[in-house]
């Protein structure tokens, strides 16, 4: 089975579709933290998916390493805010679930959904 | 210099309503007698409160005393009295630059270019733009901005040899309507007294479970500290791990067209960590126990950022 981009459908397609239906969400990805490559994505046209996925994965990796050094424990959720939106990330093992959203998104609801969805990442 | 001060003092004594108080205040400032200069300028402004040039002189005295807030206030007043006052725009541009607000500095200086009589505004504008380029240009695989920035150090005056006071800076050019000129100087990150730098955020933290750390773009500790749950100082390690975070956040937001990044919040098992871009390309990090409400951590971040800006403005 293939998604809209002609790529093979992955086990994460449904999770990503649900996240992308939230108000103000521009796209969602599953990314490998180790190499920054997108495993699957569901993004609106115009979003630079691959570059953003790599940068978000790198940010998550830095946050994880810094938290490890500081004795904060495992990172459960990361949120990067900007003037007109932001990025949220939650990880399980090497996989990072990422959403990109506009300022009008309900971050609280999105966070709950992502925390639930990330448990399904394997 | 002493003769000039004596002559101007005599002039002012003969005619207390004379405008020579501006030259006298400025001469005293350049001689390093900042408190006397301040008194002369304030007394003169009591008689002539609507002179933009007098507010400009007072602003420079404040700047030399390290009080950038009051300097900015006086330059704002000068601009309100005379919207085309070039030295005031240049001064405000200098303060924006010192605070790391390069975009605003560029806007101010570009607006002042129409009254640029000696090319000093153009020179300052060029330095601000080069600093902007240095900040956005990739430097190495992580695209981290260069650690050192070109900082303006206003000095010089129209038709005279630039003088420097004891503090090494000279926001006032001298002369009644002197135009400050920004001279490029490579300014490294501040190297203040380490014991004091570690206590910079003590006044904004509410308890032992909160910590704040200011990190430069190279991942080196500027101020504050970070102690883990075992009481061990891990500030250097945490700072090193966070090197390049600001640059990556900036690039990610640029790709997405969502504007400049404002903060990052990391929830972990035992802590909530919040970060924010700070002046001079630095990164501010605050952390609190996991039980702390996230909204409270963001407030803590705002307070610490205000403190960091003030501190950097003084030591940078």
pLDDT digits (tens, 9 = 90+) for A22-59: 999 999 999 999 888 888 888 887 777 778 888 888 88
CATH number at residue B205: 3.30.450.30
Which residues 54-93 of chain A have a CB within 8 Å of chain B? 55-56, 58-59, 62-63, 65-87
| Cβ-based contacts of B253 with chain A (< 8 Å) | 80, 82
Residues of chain B with pLDDT under 50: 139-192
Which of B238, B255, B270 faces A52 most closely, judged by CB atoms?
Answer: B255
| Same-domain status, B23 and B162 | yes
**B108 near B93, Cβ under 8 Å?**
yes
Q: For residues B176 and B252, state if they share a domain.
A: no
Q: Which two tokens stand for residue B80?
A: 């309100």
Select from A53, A81, A101, A114 the residue whose CB has the most chain B CBs within 10 Å, as the one to mutate to test that interface.
A81
Pull the structure tokens for residue B126: 């060029």
Partner-chain contact A26 B226, CB within 8 Å: no
B173 in the same domain as B200: no
Secondary structure of residue A88 in the 3-state scheme: strand
- In chain B, what residues touch A68 (CB-CB under 8 Å)? 241
Can you tell me the distance from the alpha carbon of B107 to that of B109, in angstroms, rounded to the nearest whole number? 6
* Residue A102 main-chain phi, psi, to 5 deg: -85, 175
Whether residue B253 lies within 8 A of chain A, CB to CB, comes out as yes
Residue B80, domain CATH: 1.25.40.10
How far B256 CA lies from chain A's nearest CA (Å)? 6
pLDDT in tens, B255-294: 888 888 999 999 999 999 999 998 888 899 999 999 888 8
DSSP state of B316: -
Q: Quote the pLDDT of residue B1.
A: 65
- Cα–Cα dist B281/B247, whole Å: 9
Query: Are B258 and A85 a contacting pair at CB < 8 A?
Result: yes
Tell which of B187, B221, B239 closes a domain. B187
* pLDDT on residue B56: 92
Q: Is B142 left (phi over 0), alpha (psi -120 to 50) or beta?
A: alpha
Same domain, B113 and B203: no
CA distance B268 to B225: 19
State residue A90's pLDDT score: 95
- Enumerate the residues of chain B whose CB falls inside 8 A of the CB of residue A38: none
Among A64-73, A82-91, B172-181, B306-315, the range scoring the smallest mean pLDDT is B172-181
Same domain, B222 and B158: no
The fold of the A13-118 domain, in CATH, is Beta-Lactamase (3.30.450)
* pTM, rounded to two decimals: 0.54
Number of domains in chain B: 2
Interface pTM (ipTM) of the complex? Answer: 0.87
Say if the Cβ atoms of B271 and A73 lie within 8 Å.
yes
Nearest one of B114, B304, B99 to B206, comparing CA atoms: B304
The single residue listed with the structure tokens 């050019």 is: B173
Q: Is A52 on the interface with B (CB under 8 A)?
A: yes
Residue B294 contacts A, CB cutoff 8 Å: no
State the alpha helices, DSSP H only, in B173-293: 194-198, 235-241, 245-256
Rounded to 5°, angle at Cα A110 from A108 and A116: 110
Q: Is A48 on the interface with B (CB under 8 A)?
A: yes
- Position B142 scores a pLDDT of 35
Tell whether B191 is within 8 A of chain A (Cβ): no
| Residue B223: DSSP 8-state | E
Give just the sign of the alpha carbon dihedral A56, A58, A63, A67: positive
Question: From A101, which residue of chain B is nearest by alpha-carbon distance?
Answer: B258
B137 touches chain A (CB under 8 A): no
Q: Are strands A25-32 and A38-43 parallel, antiparallel or unpaired?
A: antiparallel
Instruction: Supply the pLDDT for residue B194.
Output: 59
Mean pLDDT of chain B: 76
According to DSSP, the β-strands at B271-278 and B181-187 are unpaired
B230 neighbourhood in chain A, CB within 8 Å: 71
B180 and B198 together in one domain: no
Q: Find residue B212's DSSP bridge partners.
A: B286
A26 contact residues in B (CB cutoff 8 A): 256
CA distances from B292 to B17, B206, B268 (A): 60, 11, 12
Query: pLDDT tens digits for B75-90?
Result: 888 888 888 888 888 8
B104 and B137 share a domain?
A: yes
CA distance B243 to chain A (A): 8
Angstrom distance (rounded) from CA B91 to CA B72: 8
Partner-chain contact B256 A85, CB within 8 Å:
yes
Claim to verify: residue B268 and residue B182 sit in the same structural domain: no
Range of the domain at B111: 2-187
> For residue range B136-154, what is the model confidence (pLDDT) as tens digits?
655 433 333 333 333 333 4
Count of pairs with CB atoms under 8 A, one residue in A, one in B: 118
DSSP assignment letter at B281: G
Examine the domain organization and report whether B263 and B239 are in the same domain: yes
Give the count of beta carbons closer than 10 Å to the beta carbon of residue B238.
Answer: 28
Q: What is the pLDDT at residue B272?
A: 94
Residue of chain B nearest A53, judged by CA positions? B252
> Does B252 reach chain A within 8 Å, measured CB to CB?
yes
B251 touches chain A (CB under 8 A): yes
């Amino acid at each position: 089975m293939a998604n809209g981009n002609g790529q093979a459908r992955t086990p994460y397609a449904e999770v990503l579709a649900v996240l992308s239906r939230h108000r103000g969400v521009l796209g969602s990805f599953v990314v490998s933290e180790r190499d920054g490559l997108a495993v699957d994505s569901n993004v609106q046209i115009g979003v630079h998916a691959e570059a953003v996925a790599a940068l978000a994965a790198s940010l998550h990796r830095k946050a994880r390493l810094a938290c490890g050094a500081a004795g904060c424990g495992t990172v459960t959720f990361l949120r990067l805010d900007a003037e007109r939106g932001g990025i949220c990330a939650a990880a399980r093992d090497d996989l990072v679930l990422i959403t990109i959203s506009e300022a009008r998104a309900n971050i609280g609801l999105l966070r709950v959904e992502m925390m639930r969805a990330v448990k399904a990442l394997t | 210099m002493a003769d000039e001060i004596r002559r101007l003092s005599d002039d002012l004594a003969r005619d207390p309503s004379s405008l020579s108080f501006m030259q006298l205040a400025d001469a005293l400032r350049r001689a390093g007698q900042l408190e006397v200069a301040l008194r002369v300028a304030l007394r003169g402004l009591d008689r002539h409160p609507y002179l933009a040039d007098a507010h400009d002189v007072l602003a420079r005295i404040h700047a030399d005393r390290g009080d950038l807030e009051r300097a900015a206030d006086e330059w704002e007043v000068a601009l309100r009295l005379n919207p085309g006052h070039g030295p005031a725009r240049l001064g405000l541009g200098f303060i924006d630059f010192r605070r790391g607000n390069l975009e605003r500095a560029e806007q101010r200086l570009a607006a002042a270019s129409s009254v640029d009589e000696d090319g000093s505004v153009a020179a300052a504008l060029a330095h601000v733009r080069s600093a902007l380029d240095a900040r956005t240009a990739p430097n190495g695989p992580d695209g981290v901005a260069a650690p050192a920035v070109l900082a303006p150090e206003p000095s010089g005056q129209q038709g005279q040899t630039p003088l420097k006071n004891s503090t090494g800076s000279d926001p006032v050019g001298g002369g009644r309507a002197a135009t400050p000129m920004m001279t490029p100087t490579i300014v490294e990150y501040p190297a203040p007294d380490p014991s004091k730098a570690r206590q910079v955020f003590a006044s904004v933290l509410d308890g032992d479970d909160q910590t704040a750390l200011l990190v430069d773009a190279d991942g080196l500790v500027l101020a504050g500290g970070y102690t883990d749950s075992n009481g061990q100082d891990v500030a250097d390690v945490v700072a090193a791990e966070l090197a390049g975070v600001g640059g990556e956040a900036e690039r990610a937001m640029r790709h997405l067209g969502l504007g400049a990044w404002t903060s990052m919040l990391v929830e972990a098992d035992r802590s909530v960590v919040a970060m924010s871009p700070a002046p001079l390309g630095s990164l501010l990090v605050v952390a609190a126990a996991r039980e702390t409400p996230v909204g409270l951590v963001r407030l803590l971040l705002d307070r610490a950022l205000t403190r960091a800006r003030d501190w950097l403005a003084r030591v940078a």
